[in-house]
Amino acid sequence: MQALPVIVGFGGYNAAGRSSSHQAFRRLVLESLSQEEQEQTIVSLACLMKLVSWNDQFYEDYQEERLTQTQVAKKYKDLVLKGTLIRRLEDNLFDPKKVYGHKRVVVESKDKENIFFKIAKRDLPSVIPDQWDIKYLDGDVCEVGIENSVDFLIPTYTEQAVKAGGQLPTGFDPSAQYNSRFHPRGLQLALLGASDALASIGIPWEKIASSVHPDEVGVYGTSIMGQVSKEGLGGLLQARLLGERTTSKQYAMGLNTMPADFINAYVVGSVGHTAAITGACASFLYVLQGAVQDIKSGRRRVAIIGSAEAGLTPAVMEGFTSMG
């Protein structure tokens, strides 16, 4: 007899808020809810966005004003609505009107004379171009002469064509929820999503884990974009171009297996099975399929399934823009 997979909890964070307790869903259908449900949704999002906090007996905002649920909903409704769902990009990640890059320019000499400039010896390229004539001056300075013309990459800023996207609610910072040093943003969201899902079950994870063998637990997660923020693949691929240092963590943190491995090791503390299956926008369905097959076959009794993407970077957005 085949085992029947049963969903017992879910969680995560997206542009509409928190998945567990249906907060994000209620934000999507806010206008169709009753007045009481609308207030509850606005207040819960206001707490997530750090507009107010609950102090056991009342809500309190940053001005230390004590508020009831109705007062919070009335005072902060507009901010909550403007700070959720798809909207104009905020500047907490980058400024879409000022994206750093380089522009190639050709500098030609006047009257066919050499182009001269001074540069510190330590800044000379490791391989000197053939057309460079170098004269070493006193101290740590040398003079470079270049015949006729030379190509330069000049640092500049450009305005991004697309300036809107689905962002996390304003004020919600996943990196502030745990010790996330060196973690790419996508990995942060995966870890928080898994923690949120486990908490939604209503049964302590320790009790679940103690009821099955370690190899009967599986974590199925992936990241189609890898981890493209500066702490992962984004930083790894851009470091030399930006004159920065590549770190030992960027490569490892950029792997698409990191979400499943980190959840397995640090969220559930398991030594069980992990799987990362990548398939463009169907990646979640692939990991879901893998978990379902393993449960039906009897190889797993508990599966944690999910994926998270954090693709709001200039390079990724420009790539999607080019695709149309």
What is the predicted pLDDT for the residue at 111? 73
194, HSE (Cβ side, Cα atoms, 13 Å): 28
| Tokens read off for 270 | 């398991």
| Pairing verdict, β 52-54 and 59-61 | antiparallel
Give the C-alpha separation, 207 to 98, whole Å.
51
Task: Provide the β-strand partners of residue 199.
Answer: none
Give the C-alpha separation, 31 to 19, whole Å.
18
What is the predicted pLDDT for the residue at 244? 87
119: left (phi over 0), alpha (psi -120 to 50) or beta: beta
Q: Crossing angle of helices 35-48/69-82, nearest 10°? A: 70
Task: Name which of 1, 8, 2, 20 is nearest 302 in CA terms.
Answer: 8
CA dihedral 116, 121, 127, 133 (to 10 degrees): 30
Chain center to CA of 276: 18
What is the predicted pLDDT for the residue at 163? 94
Cα 232 to Cα 90, 228, 256, distances in angstroms:
22, 6, 10
Mean pLDDT, residues 182-193: 94
Give the C-alpha separation, 244 to 92, whole Å.
22
Give the C-alpha separation, 164 to 219, whole Å.
33
DSSP 224: T
Mean pLDDT, residues 62-73: 93
Residue at 22: amino acid letter: H
Q: What percent of the chain has pLDDT over 70?
A: 100
Mean pLDDT, residues 6-35: 96
Q: How confident is the model at residue 39 (pLDDT cuts 50, 70, 90)?
A: very high
**pLDDT tens for each residue of 95-130:** 999 999 889 998 887 777 788 889 999 999 889 988
Give the C-alpha separation, 205 to 210, whole Å.
9
**pLDDT tens for each residue of 224-277:** 877 888 899 889 988 888 888 899 899 889 888 999 999 999 999 998 999 999
The mean predicted confidence, pLDDT, of the chain is: 92
171 pLDDT higher than 90: yes
Mean pLDDT, residues 267-293: 93
Q: How confident is the model at residue 37 (pLDDT cuts 50, 70, 90)?
A: very high
Helices (H), the chain: 23-28, 35-48, 69-82, 185-201, 205-209, 233-238, 248-253, 258-262, 283-297, 314-323
Start-to-end C-alpha separation, the chain: 49
Coil, strand or helix: which one is 130? coil
